[in-house]
Structure 1
């Protein structure tokens, strides 16, 4: 089946939205470079980067943690283990399980990366609060409304100007991948 005129209109608009949300400017370049610096500083101090999110953002967190550790050679973790989630959510409530995971696993010198498309997820906001209590550096990635609460809580705050989940999540993943490739110093390299 070939695309229809309506398909072409939809896709033209959709791809334009992605390009607009991912427009490169000085502010974005500075944030990517600052994030690289925070990640490498954590590594040099013997620390690590922890990346958290819910749903699709949890998938991004897992992907970035693996690539950051493997390819970027910066120790990185995410807290997506089902047993840990169900244990801590059962004991402390879903809104607080991530905050407790942060308190159990992170120390001064580590970096928390908090991803939430809406910027309103209570468990993500509480994890950032726990990270702040520990004196950690915090990087946030959010989207949707410009005044979402997460956007104001980090040392470095990325915001995707879109209300479309898939565009926001794609942009978040791309931005974090660009940090890894900036650490490596090239865009093309062998996978192993």
Structure 2
């Protein structure tokens, strides 16, 4: 098999796995979360998107689309999505660099301090209120800083959503609602690709509701 044939074979397998993953999505769960995000907007609640690596990129993309892309210049009575991507580079790296300094405000759930395991908690704690939404993204569902942020959000009376892959990990068990892409462990390309499909589905529905 030459290089072209190998690339074509790989592409076909990747295509088939992606299609299967999309076909197996829980549409009831997606619909419920779509409604939850809209209701949060209508009630003036904050929505926090967060993740690491590729998931961090998806979180920022979600915040961008919901924050800017849902605005309708024709509507004068429109309420806007109050979104945070938790992606301020200076704040995030300062938080991670603080290492073992404890959180000041008390005994939050989770075994972490002001280091990297608390980078999302450290940003959320300035803004979070009961009824807000914490939307954590992790292919494995086991990223410590995502887990801690979900636990922290629950402690503060916020609703929690986990967008995960593989076997769902801890996040699938912790979150109030989940967007789960079951897959073979390590299939980041499939999981992150389908996560982006879900992202655009949620966003396009949100845009539809603003027309």
Match of 2:181 among 160, 168, 175: 160
Tell me, yes or no, if structure 1 residue 99 matches structure 2 residue 121: yes
Secondary structure of the structure 1 residue equivalent to 2:135:
strand
1:89-140 per-residue CA deviation (whole Å, 9 max, x = no partner) reads 2231111121222222211121111000111110000000110001111110
Residue 24 of structure 1 and its aligned partner are, at CA, apart by 5.2
Structure 2 SS opposite 1:96: helix
Aligned residue runs from structure 1 range 51-130, under 5 A: 51-72=49-70, 73-91=80-98, 92-130=114-152
- Structure with higher Rg: it is 2
Other-structure match for 1:175:
198
Matched residue, 1:18: 18
Q: Report the CA distance between 1:75 and its aligned residue.
A: 2.1
Alignment correspondent of 2:170: 149
Match of 2:4 in 1: 4
SS in 1 for 2:124: helix
Q: Specify the SS of the correspondent of 1:109.
A: coil
Deviation at 1:16, TM superposition (A): 0.5
How many residue pairs are counted as aligned between the two chains? Answer: 183
Output aligned runs, 1:29-44, within 5 Å: 29-44=27-42
Give the unaligned 5+ runs of structure 2.
Answer: 71-79, 99-113
- CA RMSD, 1 decimal: 1.9
Q: Which runs of 5+ in 1 are unaligned?
A: none
SS of the equivalent of 1:52 reads strand
State whether residues 45 and 109 of structure 1, in contact with CA within 8 Å, keep that contact through their aligned partners in structure 2.
Answer: no
Asked if structure 2 preserves the Cα contact closer than 8 Å seen for 1:50 and 1:111, the reply is yes
**SS at the partner of 1:151?**
helix
TM-score, structure 1 as length reference = 0.88
The TM-score with structure 2 as length reference comes to 0.80
Report the Cα offset of residue 161 of structure 1.
1.8
